[in-house]
Amino acid sequence: MTAKPALFPILLAGVLLASPVIGAGAALRVQPERIEQHIMELSAFGKNPEGGVSRVAFSQADLDARRYIGGLMNQAGLRVTVDAAGNLIGYREGSESLPPIMLGSHIDSVPGGGNYDGDVGVIGAIEAARVLHQAGVSLRHPLEVVVFVDEEGGLTGSRAMSGQLGPEVLQEVSHSGLTVGEGILHLGGDPARLAEAERSTGDIAAYLELHIEQGAVLDDEGLDIGIVTGIVGIKWWDIIITGVANHAGTTPMNKRHDALLAAAELIQAVNRVIRQTPGNQVGTVGRIKAEPGAPNVIPGKVEMSLEIRDLSEAVMDSIYRQIEQEAAAIATQAGVSIAFRPIPFDAVPAPTDERVRRLIGEAAKGLGLSSREMPSGAGHDAQDIARIAPIGMIFVPSVGGVSHSPKEFTKPDDMANGANVLLQTLLSIDAGELGQ
């Protein structure tokens, strides 16, 4: 029997499981109005004047929202607890001694964020559990609905659960002004016992995450469901370009060693390499600083960032080598030096489980929904859980592809479609279609 994780103070009393109803699962459907109502109620916590939320992790708004979510979990027949990392967990017993099936996402936001990123996955998972509870359907597997802590600040909760959260992270200051360690304590966890939140391979039967796409592919193509093939890896570099600062009025153009001009050529080269390489990879220069920064001085030094994302580590490495070659040629021509400094950032590509993808596709088809396979260009808690369990992700459309903004919006019917696919995929996994 799989050991259960250590759990900290129970927030709300649990509700006893209903009796099993054999064969009832295929006809079960979520309630779109209830999902929309809960999304709107959740949006009150950390609401900002622009219509979105600034519910950053560890803030009072985050704590209040978690209490609200705990109440919804309670209504769905889930026993509510907090683990050592501060993850909020709703637990439902299974009829057999099997590892739990886990559903989850997050409710913390970026500063000035929207009402759907993360929230749809949490509300959809609770709605699936509530439908099972109200219909009296018992699962073979235990069910866990998890609200991962501090997703936007660095996947803190899921990294802790997968054993990837180093002690140095606890000293980092979050957007709330608290350190991560202080924030975990504030939410009811215990950073001194962080190891007790860890799960091992085999402890979780499967993990499913419902999420808004955060892009415009589904919306543009008029499709209902995205079946995520994997979550991209991310690699970061600082690039330092060193030239010669000199007087802008007295230095002839052919005598200059302009670091900013070389940087501009390198930015164009990054774009060219990314676009000419077949595939779905992306590359971005999102930050640049020129020194000394005076209008009458030729820039002698530039620092800029480079980010590459793809589902393949090999592709990212190949693109980086091509950019290095372009940089060497630019440096020679411009009379500057260009150095790349890798930034430690452990975001490896996380393919979803092929069996789970198949079940998601079958669920969508059975519900009469259109779908397509697609990668996730953004990071999610699922990428850390992929280290220890089979994962699957279900995308629903984001209107206009807007996310991390108060203008973020997903239609109620689309949220319900995703929650129904989540529910039916959960039932398929519980029936043993992954081989458990």
Predicted confidence (pLDDT) per residue in 370-423, tens digit: 999 999 988 899 999 999 999 999 999 999 999 999 999 999 999 999 999 999
Distances from the Cα of 107 to the Cα of 61, 118, 413, angstroms: 10, 5, 20
Instruction: For residue 3, count other CB atoms closer than 10 A to its CB.
Output: 9
Superfamily of domain covering 7-231+349-430 = Zn peptidases (3.40.630.10)
pLDDT of 250 reads 97
Q: If you average pLDDT over residues 43-56, what whole number do you get?
A: 96
Looking at CATH, the fold of the domain delimited by 233-347 is given as Alpha-Beta Plaits (3.30.70)
Distance CA 56, CA 194 (A): 21
Domain layout of the chain by residue ranges? 7-231+349-430, 233-347
Query: Which long-range contacts link 251-260 to residues 24+ away (Cβ below 8 Å)?
Result: 251/298, 256/298, 257/298, 257/300, 257/334, 257/335, 257/336, 258/298, 258/299, 258/334, 258/336, 259/290, 259/299, 259/300, 259/301, 259/302, 259/336, 260/290, 260/299, 260/302
Evaluate whether 150 touches 156 at the Cβ level (below 8 Å): yes
Q: Look at 150-159, 272-281, 346-355 and tell me which has the smallest mean pLDDT.
A: 346-355
Does 7-231+349-430 match 233-347 in CATH topology?
no
Residue among 34, 56, 33 nearest 46 (CA): 56
Residue among 152, 187, 185, 151 nearest 170 (CA): 185
Is-cis flag, bond preceding 292, omega within 30? yes
pLDDT of 346 reads 65
31 pLDDT higher than 80? yes
**Intra-chain end-to-end CA distance of the chain, in Å:** 13
| Whole-prediction pTM | 0.86
84 pLDDT higher than 90? yes
Where residue 304 falls among pLDDT bands split at 50, 70, 90? very high
- Residue 233's DSSP bridge partners are 310
pLDDT of 344 reads 81
Distance CA 39, CA 121 (A): 10
Where residue 434 falls among pLDDT bands split at 50, 70, 90? confident
Tokens of 237: 């570099």
Distance CA 85, CA 76 (A): 23
Q: Look at 67-71, 139-143, 350-354, 430-434 and tell me which has the smallest mean pLDDT.
A: 430-434
Tokens of 337: 């030096």
pLDDT of 276 reads 96
Helix (H) or strand (E) holding 340: strand 337-347
pLDDT of 6 reads 45
Average pLDDT of the chain to the nearest whole number: 93
Distance CA 395, CA 218 (A): 9
2 pLDDT higher than 80? no
